[in-house]
Amino acid sequence: MLYPWMVQTLSEIRASLAARGIRPKHRYGQNFLHDGNQMARIIAAAQIVPDELVLEVGAGTGGLTQRLLDAGARVVAVEIDQRLEPILQEQLGNRGDRVRLLIADVLASKHQINPQVIEAIQHTGRSRARRVEGSPRGPVEFKLIANLPYNVGSPLLANLAIEDRVIRMTLAVVLLQQEVVQRLTAPLGTKQYGPLGVLIQAMYEVQCIGTVGPSCFWPRPQVESAIVRLRRRAVPATDDPPALAETLQRLFSTRRKQVGTILGRDHHLPQGIDPTARPEDLTVEQIVTLSRSWRPR
């Protein structure tokens, strides 16, 4: 049995799942992080301030959730696997209103955050703001701290960047497939440079904290993982992330074509952008400039 307030060991995780006849499902991207040192690394990088709001996606058996709560955060924990709800209730039941558990898919579709998740972030964040500063204004701010399932990492980060005017991710510290981290940090001129990296780099300062080996997870993944930190820029490169995302989709869906061909002869390109250049030749700033001068029909 797993007990609240205790760090879960690998043997406890496996025993608790086995007692309920649960086996990890590949389609949920379930690779449970059991290494306490890596969890501590994530918590340290998150720089949690007591009572601030944290979104955790892929709560699993609650190991990282417990540490977030111990650090003083208020947590919206999302887990897609209904089979894990009894374990999470057992682990988090004594934490009162400091944690809100959602058994749901964080994404309504590849291009949309689940409205339940948005509502939970807004409700939890505004309840705190009303206590502290009266009637809140603007988007609710939160941090994303999670061992993200591999199949949800890229679309989740992209959609959270796009939703910046509604719910604002000020910081993310997440475990991802190393290949995705390379795309997030990719500089101009590399093969990994593409729409995800441009969108994220326009909104956030991106730093790879370090790699995490397969032995830190159960079951062991077949790929390397890495921890990445995204810190929202004081002044993002774009004030219209949805328009930037649409421009990126249009440009990189035919990335081997020239920009002038993609946008059409009638489009007047901003100064400094060569119509014979290909999308991967454009800097983040140039693509942002394009998104301001051109709107997809």
Digit-coded pLDDT (tens) for 192-216 = 999 999 999 999 999 999 999 999 9
Q: How confident is the model at residue 183 (pLDDT cuts 50, 70, 90)?
A: very high
End-to-end CA distance of the chain: 57
Three state DSSP letters for 160-226: HHHCCCCEEEEEEEEEEEHHHHHHHHCCCCCCCCCHHHHHHHHHEEEEEEEEECHHHEECCCCCCEE
pLDDT above 50 for 1: no
Q: How confident is the model at residue 136 (pLDDT cuts 50, 70, 90)?
A: low
Question: In the structure encoding, which two tokens stand for residue 30, read together?
Answer: 């379930």
CATH 1.10.8.100 residue ranges of the chain are: 241-293
* Structural element, H or E, at residue 102: strand 99-103
Digit-coded pLDDT (tens) for 17-63 = 999 999 999 999 999 999 999 999 999 999 999 999 999 999 999 99
* Fold type of domain 241-293: Helicase, Ruva Protein; domain 3 (1.10.8)
Tokens 């390109």 belong to 269
> What per-residue confidence (pLDDT) applies to 258?
92
**Do residues 259 and 273 lie in contact, with contact meaning Cβ atoms separated by under 8 Å?**
yes
CATH 3.40.50.150 residue ranges of the chain are: 10-232
CATH number of 10-232: 3.40.50.150
Written as one string, the DSSP assignment of 111-144 is TEE-HHHHHHHHHHHHHHHHHHHSS--SSEEEEE
Give residues with Cβ within 8 angstroms of 86, minimum separation 6. 20
CA atoms within a 13 Å half-sphere pointing along the CA-CB vector of 34: 18
> What per-residue confidence (pLDDT) applies to 40?
96
> What per-residue confidence (pLDDT) applies to 256?
85
Digit-coded pLDDT (tens) for 93-106 = 888 899 999 999 99
